[in-house]
Amino acid sequence: MTTTRPTVLLVGYGMVGHRFLEALADSGAADRHRVVVLAEEPRPAYDRVALTSYFSGRTPEDLLLGEDGFLDRHGFELHLSSPAASIDRAARTVTTADGRTFGYDTLVLATGSYPFVPPVDGRDAEGCFVYRTIEDLRAIESYAAGAKTGAVVGGGLLGLEAAGALKGIGLDTHVVEFAPRLMPVQVDEGGGAALRRTIEEMGVTVHTGVGTRTVLVSAEGRATGMGFTDGSALDTDLVVFSAGVRPRDQLARDCGLTVGERGGIAVDENCRSSDEHVFAIGECALAVDGRVYGLVAPGYEMAATVARQLAGQDPRPFTGADLSTKLKLLGVDVASFGDAFGSTPGALDVVYSDSRAGVYKKLVVSREGALLGGILVGEADQYAALRPLTGTGTPLPVPAESLVLPTGLAAPAALGGSALPDDAVVCNCHNVTKGLIRGAVTEQGCGTVPEVKRCTEAGTGCGSCLKLIGSIVTEELAAGGVEVDRGLCPCFAHTRAELYEIVRVRGVTTHRQLLAEHGRLRGEGCEICKPTVASIIASLAPELPAVSGHILDGEQAALQDTNDHFLANIQRNGSYSVVPRIPGGEITPEKLIVIGEVARDFGLYTKITGGQRIDLFGARVDQLPQIWSRLVAAGFESGHAYGKSLRTVKSCVGSTWCRYGVQDSVAMAIRLELRYRGLRSPHKLKSAVSGCARECAEARGKDFGVIATSSGWNLYVGGNGGATPRHADLLAQDLSDQELIRLIDRFLMFYIRTADRLERTSTWLERLDGGLDHVRDVVVHDSLGLAAELERQMAGHIAGYQDEWAATLATPDRLRRFVSFVNAPGVPDPSIRFTPERDQVKPDLAVLATVEELLRPLDTVPRLSEAR
Amino acid sequence: MTTTATATTATTATATDRVELRTGTDWTPVCDWAALVPGRGVAVLLPDGRQAAVFRDHLGRVHAVANRDPFTGAYVLSRGLLGSTPDGRVYVASPLLKQRFDLLTGACLDDDTVRIPVHSARIGSAQPPAAARQHHPAGPAHRGRNGAARGRV
Ligand SMILES: Cc1cc2nc3c(=O)[nH]c(=O)nc-3n(C[C@H](O)[C@H](O)[C@H](O)COP(=O)(O)OP(=O)(O)OC[C@H]3O[C@@H](n4cnc5c(N)ncnc54)[C@H](O)[C@@H]3O)c2cc1C
Ligand code: FES
């Protein structure tokens, strides 16, 4: 049946190839074509732009671009590890290196580029690498394990990124650039100098104005050093060539398609090559303006151009693109946009340079004061606002000099979204204009940045435009008369984080007082603020005057959700489930037997949870104290399954038993679980410890996950399973036990202090200004000077910990609530009944379906003492 | 089924005062005033086998509604938290799926088509301890649907 549909054959499945498939799917053209993809690499398309994050813990799977099942859903046929070797244009076939032949009606070439390696002696020695694919990075990683020094040939964008990676994996790092300055394509002399100083301060040695003449090679064929054109030499164990890229146009050359003088498959403005059945897109194409684009955004535009034609829509010609870039290289912000070098006739410039701080800013303006371009090094926050203004011809809304002065000096020149015309491109990665973003707010009802992201794709690329999108959304909402209510609930105009600060600083000890002094309503409070405030007070209890640490004392008792109120989890028929704590999932046979006996004696349904413990279902409130007195007697504690607090710390069996394990993950999991048990937080907290990189405990799906390394522990934060899975990000690596615990103490307390109500660490990390970097600054580098206080708070929590169930059983007043009916304490609730299922019980829902059902048998309801 | 509720202001109530619910023409004492925590409820069993949820709000008024959550059928409303709307209506939020019910009218604030029964409630003055003891455990379990004592004590 597929033979009736014309075949689109895509050669090359990189970033642009993937975008092309997405565009085919979006435009509906996918249904009308058979789509076949030949990929050279052994895995589907991945995010090459984020390649370097492999070194900070992102796995190849994390980097994949399409969501699961993308290809299957659209019926795209993918052949991995199948490089195309030749094209027969007359027969319209492509043959792969292993000899398979595929026919096509339309051929799309998206073969990207290859790294250029200058023809120096010894360049093939062991220890010489390029920096383009995951395989390249893996090779560098394993070779670097036995190396001390690394040198990068090329001081451009990619070279500096590679240098950052070598530095990050602990090599003594050198950068060698032939031009007299770093990043010669993007920045001028002044910018290059600022960049160089900052990079050298970080301990990377920079050599400019020298060429590499040779790689010195040992007798065994390993690289040992480099010789330069000025006669000097450098000892190095590893060399990364990053001296630019060249379009991969060999296939096209071999079959006689027109290619450019300096490479690139020549295409017209519809991205069609010299053969009408063949298109070329991305880095392998020579665009109609005579340029080969080495950035991803122009490639995406080309992909859309071709997909539109295949869908039969009006073509949207690709005639050229903006080469503006903003990057963070070795932690230095660098941005270059528009006419950065002032080559427009009559161009003037305004420059600010502070070599002490490594800041250099230059704006190029026309005689009339319109912005033509610029270069920002060391401080590039204004890039997002300036780039869209570039080339619009309208004079700047504020004097250009006020834009280059450092923040805090002279007039604050914050350029919000209001300065921009509607057709200004706000998101360069996805070519989204301000007008489109405004439309998303006014016409499609988007009220937040994440909604705008989903609706327009703006901000889903490099992310540099997010702040500007935020200000446009706020301005638009305000203009539409919509007030953005950040308040926790109708009762409070404050966020949870603000209430936390008020409680902490003012020492407020009750919800009543907080509502009276800070609420916007003066009523009862509500089901949202009561438990939230209870949780805040519980988190801060160790430092608040006269607050009991027990959540069922005083006013606290009145604020808790039913789960916290009965220290158990309510289920659909009004019964509760019980989860004793089993730290790290380790349990003795004796304790297992006690759980079994309790479940049997009370007729409870038992199930093993995902957190390596056992859940006992179907208890009536009046049974809970009886159940718990047996569990407490056997040495169990509350598992806090009912609370917004630490649940479990899962673990794999670790080095004690496992032949692969490198650390004792069980001991660490138990230690962490006992340390943080009972800690009240904005949402539940999950954790896990894996004993080796195989990650059997799934630590990266947790709020804080720990993975053993041969020299200690890696700490990951912000992971989540559930409906919106997120892999945790690496916060710090190779930590000792003490360092690990200190960082987790700080991380958790910082989260508790600043998160919104019911905000898991994953969403919190994504929402926070500055994201993971900010959290790392605060938690690891103590940028806010908070670390000591956070640690002290955690110490207070640990010192004040008591088992809530043991403490409840010991106090008659706390036990009073555990009755089905206050006026008939001995009578069980007749609505809670069970029917058999698979040798256990399940709730009898029929009895709940009507009111009458229950009234009839009331005479015969036995007293509790008779029941058991 | 719906009766209009009387929310009794109980500024003068003392710990030993009784909370009473109207059952037919009688007032049935259901618990001590002291058993109620402001902002929360308790479940009581009425002589005819019905379950009621009895609450004390932050102004010290008592409210009583049917204990059954109409959305799930479970008898749990007594375990919900009280709240009030910006216009001052006091409600209970079901602990299961969080729908809110106005305690004066029984109307569900999240679904116009749903309403729960409301009971009249009042604070009765303290009774002699002996009488109270007699009355109290002679709980609903020992009465038929018509409310007649079975005398099984
Ligand atoms: C470390 C790094 C950082 C970068 N940072 C940025 C950045 O910050 N901003 C930016 O805009 N750009 C950046 N880039 C550039 C960006 O990655 C490229 O512009 C983009 O990947 C181009 O997409 P493409 O699909 O044309 O090529 P590629 O992504 O390279 O994909 C081409 C694919 O085709 C395959 N292929 C080649 N020949 C054949 C064949 N004969 N048969 C089958 N398959 C074949 C290749 O194996 C490859 O998988 C960066 C690149 C690197 C390496
Ligand atoms: S500019 Fe890169 S995501 Fe918007």
> What's the pLDDT score for residue A668?
96
The residue in chain A having the minimum alpha-carbon distance to the alpha carbon of residue B143 is A859
Q: Does residue A57 sit in the same domain as residue A75?
A: yes
Q: Does residue A402 sit in the same domain as residue A390?
A: yes
What is this structure's pTM? 0.58
Q: Does residue A402 sit in the same domain as residue A331?
A: yes
CB count in 10 Å sphere of residue A89: 16
> What's the pLDDT score for residue A483?
65
A572·B39 Cβ contact <8 A: no
For residues A577 and A621, what is the distance between their CA atoms, to the nearest angstrom? Answer: 10
Q: What angle do CA A145, A167, A65 make, to 5 degrees?
A: 85
Spell out the residues 6+ positions from residue A408 whose beta carbon is closer than 8 angstroms to its own: none
Spell out the residues 6+ positions from residue A545 whose beta carbon is closer than 8 angstroms to its own: A507, A509
Say how many Å lie between the CA of residue A425 and the centre of ligand 2. 10
- What DSSP string describes A254-287? HTT--B-TTS-EE--TT-B-SSTTEEE-GGGEE-
| Domain hosting residue B121, numbered range | 8-127
Question: DSSP assignment, residue A411?
Answer: S
Which CATH number covers residue B72? Answer: 2.102.10.10
Q: Does residue A547 sit in the same domain as residue A692?
A: no
> Which of A415, A441, A470 is a domain's end point?
A415
> What's the pLDDT score for residue B140?
35
Neighboring chain B residues of A824 at a CB cutoff of 8 Å = 44-45, 137, 139-141
Strand duo B41-45 + B51-56: pairing: antiparallel
Which CATH number covers residue A597? Answer: 3.30.70
CB count in 10 Å sphere of residue A200: 13
Q: Measured from the CB, is residue A437 less than 6 Å from ligand 2? A: no
For residues A725 and A702, what is the distance between their CA atoms, to the nearest angstrom? Answer: 10
Number of domains forming the structure of chain A: 6
3-class DSSP assignment, residue A322: coil
Fill in the amino acid letter for B100: R
Number of domains forming the structure of chain B: 1
- Nearest by CB to A855, from B29, B40, B49: name it: B49
> What's the pLDDT score for residue A803?
93
For residues A689 and A450, what is the distance between their CA atoms, to the nearest angstrom? Answer: 31
Structure tokens at A93: 């076939």
Atom of ligand 2 nearest to the CA of A432: 4
Tell me which residue of A260, A251, A304, A298 sits closest to A278, measured CA to CA: A251
Q: Measured from the CB, is residue A122 less than 6 Å from ligand 1? A: no
> Which of A259, A287, A310 is a domain's end point?
A310
**E strand intervals along A307-358:** 325-329, 332-338, 348-354
Q: Does residue A597 sit in the same domain as residue A726?
A: no
Please report, in angstroms and rounded to a whole number, the separation of the first and last CA atoms in chain A.
69
- Nearest by CB to B79, from A524, A562, A863: name it: A562
Q: Measured from the CB, is residue A428 less than 6 Å from ligand 2? A: yes
Is there a domain that residue A487 lies in?
no
- Splitting chain A (868 residues) into consecutive groups of 10 residues, what average pLDDT does each group show? 79 96 89 94 93 85 87 93 96 96 97 94 94 95 92 91 90 93 85 86 90 93 93 94 94 96 94 96 95 90 94 86 77 84 86 82 88 87 81 78 65 58 81 89 83 84 76 81 77 90 88 92 91 90 76 83 93 95 95 97 95 95 95 95 94 92 94 94 94 91 94 93 83 92 96 90 83 88 88 91 92 88 88 93 87 48 40
Q: Does residue A230 sit in the same domain as residue A285?
A: no
| Domain hosting residue A850, numbered range | 561-643+822-868
Report yes or no: A603 and A834 within 8 Å, Cβ to Cβ: yes
> Which of A189, A224, A243 is a domain's end point?
A243
For residues A239 and A211, what is the distance between their CA atoms, to the nearest angstrom? Answer: 14
Q: Does residue A133 sit in the same domain as residue A169?
A: yes
Structure tokens at A747: 């991380």
- Which value, to the nearest 10 degrees, does the dihedral of the CA atoms of residues A482, A486, A489, A495 take? -170
Residue nearest to atom 2 of ligand 2 (CA): A462
Q: A218: number of CA atoms within 13 Å, CB side?
A: 12
Which CATH number covers residue A232? Answer: 3.50.50.60
Q: What angle do CA A739, A741, A747 make, to 5 degrees?
A: 100
Q: How many residues does chain A have?
A: 868
Tell me which residue of B42, B66, B40 sits closest to B54, measured CA to CA: B42
Q: Which of A18, A48, A51 to mutate to test the pocket of ligand 1 (most atoms within 8 A of CB)?
A: A48
Categorize the per-residue pLDDT at B128 as very low, low, confident or very high, splitting at 50, 70 and 90.
very low
Neighboring chain A residues of B84 at a CB cutoff of 8 Å = 521, 523-526
Is there a domain that residue B96 lies in?
yes
More confident residue, B82 or A327: B82
Q: Does residue A760 sit in the same domain as residue A654?
A: yes
Report yes or no: A313 and A320 within 8 Å, Cβ to Cβ: no
For residues A596 and A590, what is the distance between their CA atoms, to the nearest angstrom? Answer: 10
The residue in chain A having the minimum alpha-carbon distance to the alpha carbon of residue B138 is A824
Q: Does residue A750 sit in the same domain as residue A679?
A: yes
> What's the pLDDT score for residue A782?
86
Q: Does residue A204 sit in the same domain as residue A292?
A: no
Q: Does residue A573 sit in the same domain as residue A666?
A: no
> What's the pLDDT score for residue B12?
54
Q: Which of A295, A332, A336 to mutate to test the pocket of ligand 1 (most atoms within 8 A of CB)?
A: A295
Residue A710: alpha-carbon gap to chain centroid: 26
Please report, in angstroms and rounded to a whole number, the separation of the first and last CA atoms in chain B.
32
Is there a domain that residue A467 lies in?
no
Q: A376: number of CA atoms within 13 Å, CB side?
A: 23
Question: Three-state SS across B44-110?
Answer: EECCCCCEEEEEECCCCEEEEEECECCCCCCECHHHCEEEECCCCCEEEECCCCCCEEECCCCEECC
Is there a domain that residue A816 lies in?
no
Q: Does residue A747 sit in the same domain as residue A663?
A: yes
What Rg, from alpha-carbon coordinates, does chain B have? 15
For chain A, list residues whose CB is within 8 angstroms of any CB belonging to chain B: 490, 512, 521, 523-528, 530-531, 557-559, 561-563, 565-566, 570, 572-574, 816, 820-824, 826-827, 829, 831, 845, 848-849, 851, 854-855, 858-859, 861, 863
Structure tokens at A104: 């096509």
Neighboring chain A residues of B86 at a CB cutoff of 8 Å = 490, 521
Assembly ipTM:
0.78
Distances (CA, A) of A529 to A93, A491, A533, A683: 67, 7, 6, 14
Which CATH number covers residue A391? Answer: 3.30.390.30
Neighboring chain A residues of B75 at a CB cutoff of 8 Å = 574, 829, 831, 848
- What DSSP string describes A552-601? TSTTHHHHS-HHHHHTSEE-TTS-EEE-B--GGG---HHHHHHHHHHHHH
Strand duo A101-103 + A93-96: pairing: antiparallel
Is there a domain that residue B14 lies in?
yes
* Conformational region of residue A189, where left means phi above 0, alpha means psi within -120 to 50, and beta covers everything else: alpha
Which CATH number covers residue A670? Answer: 3.30.413.10
> What's the pLDDT score for residue A351?
86
The residue in chain B having the minimum alpha-carbon distance to the alpha carbon of residue A519 is B86
